[in-house]
Amino acid sequence: MRATREPASLLRHRGVMTSIEAKSATDSELDAVFGPIFERIAQGAVAREIDRRLPFEEVGWLREAKFGALRVPVEFGGYGVSVRQLFRLLIELAAAESNLPQALRVHFSFVEDHLLAEPGPGREQWLRTATSTLVGNAITEPGVGAVDRYRTRLTRDGDRWLLNGVKYYSTGSLYADYILVAADRDGERVGVLVDANADGVRQHDDWDGFGQRLTASGTTEFTDVVVAEDRILGPGYGAPGPTYATSYLQLVQLAVLAGIAQRAELDAREWVAGRTRSYSHSAAGIPRQDPLVQQVIGRLSAAAFAAKASVLAVADVLDEVLASGAQDEKSLVAAELAAAQAQLAVIDLVLPATTLLFEVGGASVVSERQRLDRHWRNARTISVHNPAIQKARAVGDYLLNGTDLPFAWSAGEHKPATGAAQ
């Protein structure tokens, strides 16, 4: 675990933290703790983008404030918040730095898995661990794609297990204390948890996308990494069948998009408010009085509002699914459908909005010093995770024909429809 100094904002709210530990946190209490931290993170966003500086220090602030323990029950040292409260804060964090919720999304799924696990020492151990540490991921493999063809292997070597393989899109693992790895063990898919600094683990910041540059979504290599028996955690990502996880993980991406829209509207508004120069053919002497510019700001604001509302609506569905144990197939399908529909709507809201913002000014609005283009680049990059054209087809096929939604299955695992669409 990386040592970091405690942020001044957390020290100021230590009294709030003490009162929160006695009960589940309210929104106002959470804002008192995390609002100042988000503000500090936002202040360095443009500089980090220009310098391509990974936000290790900023992740440290979140770790120290126990951001990763938002869903951990109070009795285990967490905040005990609802899914809706979590996603409300993820939107705010994305508005401050869009890379960070994406980097943390597998951590929150890891916590959720243990919330759903059978009570026992292992469950309590990892929930308590999640209050002060973060979990990254190493699931996808270069050149493979399908979740049923992992080349990363977990093999027996005497009385121990050895992990070998190469992963890409290891989002957030450079910031993490543990890495959740998807591997093959004698033809069985398993999830393996390894220490990020274990012997044989090599991480690379080689993600070369034009957006979301600071998610640390690069390559991770595992060479004869020793794995203890209690670090083999079950079937892992991609097990056939309905699951809460695909809608949950997709919703984190949508929270990122909603946060990007929120920041884009704020940046455009601040830029217009400070302008004193207008065009000779403008309808007003200064931009903020120009009705066309006002219209742009209004449309940006509407996109941010609608994107946030969509995310929180799906979060409400997931709250019900997870509170009931995430076992009812009908409820899991409803959550998957809601997340897919929200994905199609939110992308269509946010991508145009992050282009529209440039209509508020002339050539000066594209200054590299402002990096307003990062909003479109980040939104475009996050939106291609689980491509919308594939999701739209799956939703239409389900609604028309009752065909199973894909969840995380590979194409060859799709089962025939079990009933007509409702």
CATH (domain of 212)? 2.40.110.10
If one counts the domains in the chain, the total is 3
The lowest-confidence range among 96-100, 105-109, 147-151, 173-177 is: 147-151
Q: What is the pLDDT of residues 346-390, one digit of tens each?
A: 999 999 999 999 999 888 889 888 999 999 999 999 999 889 999
Answer whether residue 19 is part of any domain. no
- Residues forming beta bridges with residue 201, ordered by sequence position: 222
Say if residue 249 is in the same domain as residue 397.
Answer: yes
Question: What are the residues whose beta carbons fall under 8 Å from the beta carbon of 373, sequence distance 6 or more?
Answer: 366
Say if residue 200 is in the same domain as residue 285.
Answer: no
Say if residue 212 is in the same domain as residue 230.
Answer: yes
Answer whether residue 416 is part of any domain. no
Answer whether residue 108 is part of any domain. yes
Distance CA 324, CA 339 (A): 18
Answer with the one of 103, 134, 165 that is the final residue of a domain.
134
The two tokens of residue 214 are: 């600071």
Say if residue 394 is in the same domain as residue 252.
Answer: yes
Q: What is the pLDDT of residues 5-55, one digit of tens each?
A: 333 333 333 334 434 445 889 999 999 999 999 999 999 999 999 999 999
- Residue numbers of the domain that contains 291: 244-401
Q: What is the pLDDT of residues 304-317, one digit of tens each?
A: 999 999 999 999 99
Q: In angstroms, how far is CA 396 from the centroid of its own chain?
A: 26
Query: What element of type H or E holds 165?
Result: strand 160-167
- To 5 degrees, how large is the angle CA 206–CA 68–CA 104? 25
Answer whether residue 12 is part of any domain. no
Say if residue 397 is in the same domain as residue 251.
Answer: yes
Say if residue 128 is in the same domain as residue 39.
Answer: yes
Residue 421 pLDDT level (bands cut at 50, 70, 90): very low
- pTM, two decimal places: 0.90
Answer with the one of 134, 158, 179 that is the final residue of a domain.
134
Say if residue 322 is in the same domain as residue 176.
Answer: no
The two tokens of residue 135 are: 């979990």
Say if residue 315 is in the same domain as residue 359.
Answer: yes
Answer whether residue 13 is part of any domain. no
Say if residue 146 is in the same domain as residue 127.
Answer: no
Distance CA 106, CA 249 (A): 7
For residue 349, what is the domain's CATH number?
1.20.140.10
The two tokens of residue 184 are: 């093959």
Answer whether residue 215 is part of any domain. yes
Residue 136, classed as helix, strand or coil, is strand
Answer whether residue 226 is part of any domain. yes
The two tokens of residue 97 are: 């730095």
The whole-number pLDDT of residue 409 equals 57
Say if residue 376 is in the same domain as residue 255.
Answer: yes
Residue 251: is its pLDDT beyond 90? yes
Residue 108, classed as helix, strand or coil, is helix
E-state strands within 219-364: 220-227
For residue 57, what is the domain's CATH number?
1.10.540.10
The whole-number pLDDT of residue 236 equals 67
Say if residue 122 is in the same domain as residue 146.
Answer: no
Which one-letter DSSP state was computed for residue 188?
A: E
The whole-number pLDDT of residue 238 equals 63
The string over 249-284, giving b where at least 16 C-beta atoms fall within 10 Å of a residue's C-beta and e elsewhere, is: bbbbbbbbbbbbbbbbbebbbebbeebeebeeeeee
Say if residue 315 is in the same domain as residue 216.
Answer: no
Question: What are the residues whose beta carbons fall under 8 Å from the beta carbon of 265, sequence distance 6 or more?
Answer: 297, 300, 301, 303, 304, 353, 357
Answer whether residue 144 is part of any domain. yes
